[in-house]
Amino acid sequence: MSRQEVRELTADASAAGLRLDRYLTDATGLPRSQIQRLIEAGRVLVEGRCPKASSAVLPGQRIRLSIPPPQPSTLTPEPIPLDILYEDTDLLVLNKPAGLVVHPAPGHPGGTLVHALLYHCPDLPGIGEERRPGMVHRLDKETSGVMVVAKTDSAMASLARQFKARRVKKTYIALVHGEVKQVEGRVEAEIGRHERDRKRMAVRTRKGRKAVTTYRVMKRLDGYTLLQLHPETGRTHQIRVHLSAIGHAIVGDKIYGGRREQKFRVSGFGFRVQAERQLLHAWKLGFFHPRTDEWMEFEAPLPADFTNWLHTEPRRPQ
């Protein structure tokens, strides 16, 4: 029978001025929501006392966490095929297809990547959050490409720290509207929730979080540009929001594409059919192995729907 895990640590100088839940998220690699649940359940003690999640941490304070054993998942594993690029006892790297939702959410109770992973890795429940086991990062439903999944608590903590410290190298490819003039560029604009539509993100100067994306032109097409992108930060919808903000929305992006996504794609004297999804692909992912500290880098080729659209010639209206 599994026993609870006890972790003890002493807050260092980096804790000064931080909320307890924020500090423990950074120090342990556990999801903030899980840390908050542990605090609410009285499973976190600071100098022997039960604190609040908002309590300020002081350097030198002794903190004790009692983490209960993982509970059986309430999600039903599903035999959904996975395109696995690499796997060992610590982690799994896969090529996510466009159209696959990463984790259960309202409107998507089943058929997600999590359901597929639970079928492939029966020991995954308990690694991270119950409805997001092993999930260190995510890709939008319509975005394809490389993802890494943690298979142990230690791998989860290591990868989470690497993402937070920006040690993970992420490279995307996107096809955007218009001709991007500069060969290379940098977009630095804070991102936050849209003031009127809470399901969308937007460039904001108030209540926004720092976000940086660099890009390089790979190829210019007739009215479009193929870009290679490196998000230095990891904000929700960051690449999509930044490209839309500079006037080069991703082809097929129905949320941030504006009027261009409400009609046929104009190209020369003809037109292209509308892209079935946003043409954004997580091409490469590099990180340090959580156990060996070896640098690893993985690549997923552009999927057929992306390359087919690139090679489709504009058609004249009948």
Cβ-count burial 105-126 (b if 16+ within 10 Å, e if not): eeeeeeebbbbbbbebbeebbb
Place of tokens 């080069």: 248
Cα–Cα distance for residue pair 79/111, rounded to 1 Å: 9
> Using alpha carbons only, what angle is made at residue 163 by residues 284 and 238, rounded to the nearest 5 degrees?
70
State the DSSP code for 155: H
Q: Does residue 305 carry a catalytic annotation?
A: no
Comparing C-alpha atoms, which of 212, 215, 221, 216 is closest to residue 251? 221
- In the β-sheet with 62-67, what is the strand arrangement from edge to edge? 5-10, 62-67, 44-46
Could you tell me which of 13, 291, 9, 292 has the C-alpha nearest to residue 156? Answer: 291
Lookup: tokens for 275: 């892209």
CA distance 252 to 238: 16
d(C-alpha 183, C-alpha 180), whole Å:
8
For every residue of 251-279, DSSP letters joined together read TT-TTTSGGGGGSPEEETTEEEPPPSS--
99-105-111 Cα angle (round to 5):
45
Distance CA 136, CA 162 (A): 10
Q: Which one from 21, 26, 140, 253 is the annotated catalytic residue?
A: 140
What six digits make up the tokens of 307? 């390359």
Cβ atoms of residues 76 and 119 within 8 Å: no
Could you list the active site residues?
Answer: 140
